[in-house]
Amino acid sequence: MNIDLTGKTALVTGSTQGIGLAIAQGLAASGARVVINGRNRDKVDEAVATLDGDITGVAADVATAEGAHTVHDQQPHVDILVNNLGMFGAVPAREITDEQWRTYFEVNVLAAARLIRLYLPSMVERGWGRILQIASDSAVVIPEEMIHYGVSKTALLALSRGFAKDAAGSGVTVNSVIAGPTHTAGVEDFVYQLVDKELPWDEAQREFMRRHRPQSLIQRLIEPEEIANMVTYLASPLATATTGGALRVDGGYIDSVLP
């Protein structure tokens, strides 16, 4: 496929590292002008410097209303919005506090809702746009060690479906990408929360998959670039008939025919 995003501007939240950074690089490699976003100015600048292509950055916490408006004020024209920002962590179910529930909702759900509200109207006016949420297998297979995370990602699937209906017939598509267990620095820390910290990484990864993600059909962690490939396709003009969907890049982890 020839994916050409020349002339399009893409904003990727939480993109100074991991999946977000890989998505930013994938979009830039296809010709898009990419806006990197993170809370820390130094990390944003570092990410911008490491990527090839037409890259700029905005340092702001989009999990707050002020931060979302800062990004919109600095980058009012966006054709492709990728809501990648998210947080996760293992907490026993009965120990999750009210504050933790609120924080996960703010970061994993409300941040996306705010930015969609800000950017969708102009996309509809132009008759073209792509809005993508990076969800998780945990949205469908709620993990007992972090149900607050799973619930927030389930809400993100519903958010995408609802806004896809709101954008019906406009030329704007809204989708979720269900990412499976992915190899990032944050996930390495998470893996070592659940397995022996003395194990070398390759052994720790295999032990984690065996004990905590045995349903995976590829039996390994997914690389961020593999998530980015799906996002780049969905962001392109080739995906005009795909909207309101939850598309899986999960290594076959979810034991279901659909989605």
Active site residues: 149
Q: Distance between CA atoms of 239 and 100, rounded to whole angstroms? A: 36
The residue type found at 35 is V
Asked whether 21 and 225 are in contact (CB, 8 A), the reply is no
Q: Distance between CA atoms of 38 and 20, rounded to whole angstroms? A: 10
Q: Distance between CA atoms of 250 and 231, rounded to whole angstroms? A: 13
Q: In what order do the strands lie in the sheet with 172-179?
A: 55-59, 33-38, 9-12, 80-83, 129-136, 172-179, 246-249
Please, which residues have CB within 8 angstroms of residue 90's CB and are 6 or more apart in sequence?
145, 146, 190, 193, 194
CA nearest to 177, candidates 131, 223, 148, 136: 136
